[in-house]
Amino acid sequence: MSSKLTKVPEGTGILEVPVQGLEWTKLYVLRLKAGEKVSLGEEERETGCLLGTGRIEIDGKHVLGPRNEIFNSKPWGLYIPPGKKVEISAIDNSELVFATVKSEPNSAEVAVIYPSEIERRVVGTHNWRRYVTQVIDKRVGARHIIMGETVNPPGNWSSYPPHKHDKHNPPYEWKMEEVYLYRLNPPTGFGFQRMYTEEGDMDEVYTITDNTALPITRGYHPVVAAPGYSLYYLWVLAGEDPVNIPRDDVKHTWVKWAEQIIKEL
């Protein structure tokens, strides 16, 4: 396995995913058996959580789930600002993915995000059609993190046309680091992740398998699922002022214009 591509740890409890090279972000998987409890929240970091599977209770007040699978459903989300703590109790065997990001104290409150409050958008068309759900962002008080999910149908591309967000040039591009955590259905499948720069000093391709993670600190980064396998990835964007407006590779922006024609046929 490439040194950048990381296997998600097995086991239960809070498990850090050992991705390298990220300035802002730490990524974790939380697996709990029914009846187990854990406390989340840090003084100088904000936390975003997405429910993968199962059913949990937050501070004895809010129930997230049940969520039985990730490929055809919208998630429940949880945002914890710096300096706040929440107790998570597993009602059923459950798995969450959460990220913590450097932040400063603020007046935001803990926020629970329900599937009915978020949109699962269809982005692209033909063999670059995918389903994108943005869950955590400034709408819930987040300062330095944006978090969501993307699902590629079998054989389809996403992050396409290829885009990047490694330079701060508003309103055309915001500088943010990113990390992807991948799942496949069936789990024996695979996909490919390319990362490249305009200058040509980086052009790397990674074979994506189930339960792997990859940091993205610069360059364009399209991803494709192998035929026969749906590819899911949870993504976390982080930076000083994250806005989900990337810059497309100008060599491939014609694809967006072609979308309009294809949709009208």
CA dihedral sign of residues 113, 163, 211, 11: negative
For 34, other C-beta atoms within 10 Å of its C-beta total: 12
Indicate the pLDDT class of residue 261, thresholds 50, 70 and 90.
confident
The answer to whether residue 2 scores a pLDDT higher than 70 is no
Would you state the structure tokens that stand for residue 132, as one six-digit string? Answer: 């994108």
Q: Please name the residue that has the structure tokens 């982080």.
A: 238
Give the Cα separation of 56 and 31 in Å (integer): 11
Residue 142 has a pLDDT of 97
Residue 219 has a pLDDT of 98
For residue range 69-103, list pLDDT tens digits in order.
999 999 999 999 999 999 999 999 999 999 999 99
For residue range 11-42, list pLDDT tens digits in order.
999 999 999 999 999 999 999 999 999 999 99
DSSP the chain: --SSSEEPPPSSEEEEE---S-SSEEEEEEEE-TT-EEEE--SSEEEEEEEEEEEEEETTTEEEEEE--SSSSPPPEEEE-TT--EEEEESSSEEEEEEEEE----S---EEE-GGGS-EEEES-GGG-EEEEEEESGGGT-SSEEEEEEEEPTT-EES-S-EE--S-BTTTB---EEEEEEEEESTT--EEEEEE-TTSS-EEEEEE-TTEEEEE-SSB--EEEPTT-EEEEEEEEESSS--S--EE-GGGTHHHHHHHHHHH-
| Cβ-contact 126, 197 below 8 angstroms | no
Residue 243 has a pLDDT of 94
Average pLDDT over residues 52-78: 98
Residue 250 has a pLDDT of 97
Q: Please name the residue that has the structure tokens 């932040």.
A: 103
Residue 263 has a pLDDT of 79
What percentage of the chain reaches a pLDDT higher than 70? 99
For residue range 107-146, list pLDDT tens digits in order.
899 999 999 999 999 999 999 999 999 999 999 999 999 9
Cross-strand pairs, 198: none
Indicate the pLDDT class of residue 3, thresholds 50, 70 and 90.
confident
Give the Cα separation of 97 and 28 in Å (integer): 6
The predicted model scores a pTM of: 0.96
For residue range 201-241, list pLDDT tens digits in order.
999 999 999 999 999 999 999 999 999 999 999 999 999 99
What percentage of the chain reaches a pLDDT higher than 90? 94
Domains and CATH numbers, the chain: 10-264 (2.60.120.10)
